[in-house]
Amino acid sequence: MEGITAEGISLPGPAWNERSQRILTPEALALVAGLHRRFEAERQSLMKARRESQAAWNAGEAPEYLDRNSEAATGDWKVGAIPEDLLCRRVEITGPSNSPKMVINMLSRRPDGSRADTAMLDFEDALKPSWRNIVDGMINIRAVAGETLEHLEPARPGREEKRYRLDPEDQAVMIIRPRGLHLVESNLRVDGEPVSAALFDMAVSFHHTARQLIEKGKTPAYYIPKCEHYLEARWWNRLFTALEEALDVEAGALKATFLIETLPAAFQMEEILFEFREHAAGLNVGRWDKIFSDIKTLGYHRERVMADRAAITMTQPWMADYALRCVQICHQRGAFGMGGMAAFTPGKTAEIRGRQLAKVLEDKRLEASTGHDGCWVSHPYFIAEAMKAFPRKNQLDVMHEDRDKYPGLLPQAIGPKTMGGLRTNVRVAIGYLEGWNRGIGCVAWDNLMEDLATLEISRAQTWQWLHHHIALDDGTPVTESLVRKVFAEELGNIVKDEAAEIAEARGETRDAVVESFLGAGAEAEEIFTRSELTSFLCDASPVEE
């Protein structure tokens, strides 16, 4: 059954429900359809170019710098003026857009007095792209723009009813992250084709928030994920302009920060920034997706088999140079160079939390010393500690003029490859996919916030170790049978040692939790032992049924 809503536009019947109709107004649908017809063929060409590049890298080539005499590299250009409300981004908090309670908490001041400067409300790696999650996220961001978002937490035994509200006079700046260019939104078709999820998220969110924000003197701000080439940035910039024209708002009103979270993009930072310069607020070093991209891009290069995830820190030479290059290029062009994520969730004991706070402060001081204008945290608990590292409004005056802006950026096989690293990959897979199967896109697991990017690191690294038949540092060969053995052991540990506590926290039976983890473990094991590495865990949202 389909819910036909306009000529050439169709949705599955279950997707055309009361909540989605609040968002998919005739005007919003017409906007999406028109943009799809205008931009989809070019998006398909860009995805074809990605596949061709990956095939070349699989055959032994590697990403490299582009023409060093281009206008982007040598021209005397700057980005457009950065609006006042985006000039202070010392600490940014990120999280899924679909939970009104989480959105309010991300935007609001904490009891200790701390508050993030900006909050990235996510439709991408922190959100499973189910239709309900996407629709709920759109409803929430529209309410944020309209300053009407509320959430009522019902009373339960031992806890009174609690109402959550935003304070329009004291809240973080909202930044929206749409889904990546590779993903399609299966639930909305135009002329028989599924629409780009990136285009859908941009069009629907801008339609419902831009004018409200601009009328209040605020900026419609976006984070753009997973760009791999300056031509992709050109596509995005043309979409930004089309949206501004469609809503009849001032050119350049929309501001974007591109995540430089792929290895190919690290070589094209300046070219990418040049392409969207009139809409640019900055670039961000998205460290977790970057690690995944490093492994995926050069996965067939035996001499670049990567170490344990925990060993790939920002102090590794290629990671440090990548971060410094981001700051150098951004600041010389008048844009922000944003730091990355501290992925901790508060530990259960004061001792664990104390160690976490110390690590967050150390990490953020390193980013501040690099010249970043701000950083990310994944939980409000760490905002105050991260803020200590960034006492100034921004660091746009840090230029790194004496540095070569063309450093070596190819990842190196530096660091340990251990059984502990393999076990971490397996545990992340089990824990994350168990949450994913319950409709959750970011999961608090082993005192870290695991999102799709960290699952992808674990998946790609295990594949790379298997593909190259490496031996761990203790001499243990990594084989399919070893990976399956580790899955069985880690699942057994979860069932024996953790299932009861998880069940109590969720208010479920232990048997239900065990069944859920066993199912996720079997699914993860199948994904991790495939002979071929797919580009992403998924490239299409699930169809609403």
Query: Which residue do the tokens 């998006």 mark?
Result: 43
Task: Reply yes or no on whether 90 is catalytic.
Answer: no
Reported as half-sphere exposure (CB side, CA atoms, 13 A), residue 216 has a value of: 16
Whole-angstrom CA distances from 366 to 116, 339, 363, 390, 412 are: 19, 10, 5, 11, 21
- Alpha-carbon span 521 to 403, nearest angstrom: 47
Residue 62, token pair as written in the block: 């590697």
Contact, 268 vs 299, CB < 8 A? Answer: no
DSSP class of 110: P
Compute the Cα dihedral for 230, 333, 239, 148 and give only its sign. Answer: positive
- Rounded to whole angstroms, the Cα distance separating 462 from 212 reads 46
Given 177, 277, 287, 309, the catalytic residue: 177
Give the separation between CA 134 and CA 31, rounded to whole angstroms: 17
3-class DSSP state of 188: strand
Going by C-alpha positions, the residue among 275, 414, 390, 415 that lies closest to residue 338 is 390
Measured between alpha carbons, how far is 451 from 445 in angstroms, rounded to an integer? 10
Give whole-number Cα distances, 506 to 155, 164, 307, 512, 513, in Å.
16, 21, 35, 11, 9
H helix intervals, 267-316 = 269-275, 287-297
Instruction: Report how far residue 258's alpha carbon sits from residue 326's, in angstroms, rounded to the nearest whole number.
Output: 11
Residue 177 annotated in active site: yes
| Residues annotated as catalytic (active site), given as ranges | 177, 451
